[in-house]
Amino acid sequence: MFGEKLKNLRKQEHISQQRLADMLGVCQSTVAMWEKGKNSPEFETLISIAKIFSVSCDYLTGTGNEKTAFSIPVLGYVRAGLPTEAVEDIMGYEDVVLSENERSEHFALRIKGDSMAPRMMEGDTVIVKKQAEAVSGDICVALVGNADATVKKVIFRDTGLILMPLNSAYDPLFFTPDEVENTPVTIIGKVVELRARI
C-alpha cells in the first residue's frame, strides 16, 4: 500500500524516482524497492517523504483518511500590503492533495503587493485552510472591516492583535480588543502552502 501511494504521489507531482532519491539522500534503486513493496523507509525518511508531498505519515502508511488530488478555486487577489477588497471571482484552479472531507475547507488566493516579501511575492498563490482561529505566529488571511482582506503574520498580545508584514518597509497594523470586535477584524483562514511564481 505504501509503495502504491508513493508512486501515485510522485507521478502527480511529476517527480522522477531519481529526483526523489536525490531529495531524500538515498539511491534511486531504494525508491524503486519502496514502490515495489519490497522495502520500507525508516521513520525519519517517512517524515521527509510526507513533507515533500504535503501529506501525513498516517496517509502514507494507510492509517489515515484516504487522500487524492482535487482542484480548488483561486478566488481572486488578496493584498500583501494594505488591506483591499476581497474579490471572490474564480481566477483559476490549483491542484492539491486532500481527503474528501478537507476539500471544502480549502481555497486559494493570488498575492498582490509586496508587504510579505521576500517570502511571498506578487503573483504567488497561497493555499488557505478555512478557519476562524489562529495561534500567534501563523500567517493568515484576515478581513479588516466588512470587505477588506490582507495576508499577514498574526501576533496576539494582551493589548490587542497585530497584523505583521514580513517586509520591513511596511508598518504593522495594530488593533485593540475593542477595534478587533467593532471594526471587525476576522481571521478567515490560515495559509498552509505557498506556490511561488517562477
CA distances from 64 to 37, 56, 101 (A): 19, 8, 12
- Whether 152 is catalytic: yes
Mean pLDDT, residues 87-115: 81
What CATH number belongs to 68-195?
2.10.109.10
- Whether 115 is catalytic: yes
Q: Distance between CA 19 and CA 40 in Å, rounded? A: 18
Domain with CATH 2.10.109.10 in the chain: 68-195
The one catalytic residue among 38, 40, 51, 115: 115
- Least confident segment among 33-37, 41-45, 83-87, 164-168: 83-87
| Per-residue pLDDT reduced to its tens digit, 30-73 | 999 999 999 989 888 988 998 898 877 777 887 655 666 678 88
Q: Distance between CA 112 and CA 180 in Å, rounded? A: 24
Query: Taking Cα atoms as reference points, which of 180, 176, 142 lies closest to residue 159?
Result: 176
Torsion of CA 143, 144, 145, 146, to 10 degrees: -20
How sure is the predictor about 196, in pLDDT bands with cuts at 50, 70 and 90?
Answer: confident
The one catalytic residue among 7, 54, 130, 152: 152
| Per-residue pLDDT reduced to its tens digit, 130-141 | 999 999 999 999
Backbone phi, psi, residue 172, to 5°:
-65, 155
Domain with CATH 1.10.260.40 in the chain: 2-64
What CATH number belongs to 2-64?
1.10.260.40
Tell me the pTM. Answer: 0.63
Q: What is the CA radius of gyration of the chain?
A: 19
